[in-house]
Structure 1
Amino acid sequence: MKIPTTLKHKPVVVVENYEKVDGRLARNTDTQGLSLGLAQWNDRGKVDISAKVWRYTGEKWSRQSEELPLHRVLDLSILICRSLAHFQEAYRYEHLYDPQQPVIDRVALQGDAMTVAVCTDNERIHEDMKLFSQALNDDGELIGERLRTLSKILEDMGY
């Protein structure tokens, strides 16, 4: 299905077959495409690039489609990687984290640091940590394939 080009987000680079590769949801998803393009919130004279996840209900493009600035997409990638690294060693803790030290990492970004931490305000955090860990384990092959691909691309780019 073709991503619309008449809406406020203006696609420049697209993945129009995302429904075929959407992880465990492949071939059974409402996410039909991904795009990088000119953000819908652009003001006159100011241009931002955004990433967009395009969802289709079967009848129309969904209002649940999401658009994010590129730096947020990368910040989410950093969060994912730090979380994966934590869960590789989490078995050492009774509750898969140290309740006395819930901060996983502080990632330096632009003069400050993004604090990655276990959400201790979640009243069911012990149970949810186990469920999260199991889901990461179940999706290990899917996540690992994407991380290896990303690592290769970053290496090829000189990062």
Structure 2
Amino acid sequence: MKIPTNLNHKPVVISDNYERVDGRFARNTDAKALSLGVAEGSSRRKVDLSAKVWRYTGEEWSKQSEELPLHRVLDMSILICRSLAHFRDAYRYEHYYDPQEPVIDRVALQGDAMNVAICTDNERLHEDIKLFSQALSNDDEMISERLRTLSKLLMDMGY
């Protein structure tokens, strides 16, 4: 099944078999493909690039397909990596973080810094953070495989 190319997001590079490698959802997912392309709302004068997850309900392409600008995909990757680093040592804290210092890091980007912090506004944080930590542990092999692949690709590119 081919992803639509007549919509606002114009795919340029695709992974048309993503449903086969979608983590623990592999072979049982509505996320059928990924694409990098020209973002919705771009014009010939101002082109924005985006990444898109293409979801298929079994009958039609879903309106829940997600499109993100490439820099946000990378920002999300930074957030994931910094969170993984925190949770490797989080067992040292009674509640998996220091309540006196919920900001884990500030990552310098474009003249400012992106906060990486525990969401202390979450009313169920103590329960949710334990679940989050356990899920990271359960998914360690799958996540580590992808991080090793990403690390190798970044090194091959000179980063």
Query: Please, what TM-score do these two structures have when normalized by structure 2?
Result: 0.99
Secondary structure at 1:121 match in 2: coil
C-alpha displacement of 1:43? 3.2
1:8 maps to: 8
Q: Give the share of equivalent positions with the same residue, in percent.
A: 78
| Residues 1:131 and 2:131 are matched in the alignment | yes
CA RMSD of aligned residues (A): 0.6
1:89 maps to: 89
Q: Which runs of 4+ in 1 moved over 4 A?
A: none
Secondary structure at 2:89 match in 1: helix
- Superposition map of 1:57-76 within 5 A: 57-76=57-76
| Residues 1:29 and 2:32 are matched in the alignment | no
Q: 5+ unaligned residues in a row in structure 2: which ranges? A: none
| Residues 1:49 and 2:49 are matched in the alignment | yes
Deviation by residue 1:19-76 (Cα, 9 ceiling, x = unmatched): 0000000000000000000001213511111000000000000000000000000000
Q: Distance in 2 between matches of 1:40 and 1:120?
A: 34
Q: Distance in 1 between matches of 2:121 and 2:71?
A: 27
Query: Please, what TM-score do these two structures have when normalized by structure 1?
Result: 0.99
Q: 5+ unaligned residues in a row in structure 1: which ranges? A: none
2:146 maps to: 146
AA aligned to 1:118 is: I
Q: Distance in 1 between matches of 2:153 and 2:132?
A: 28
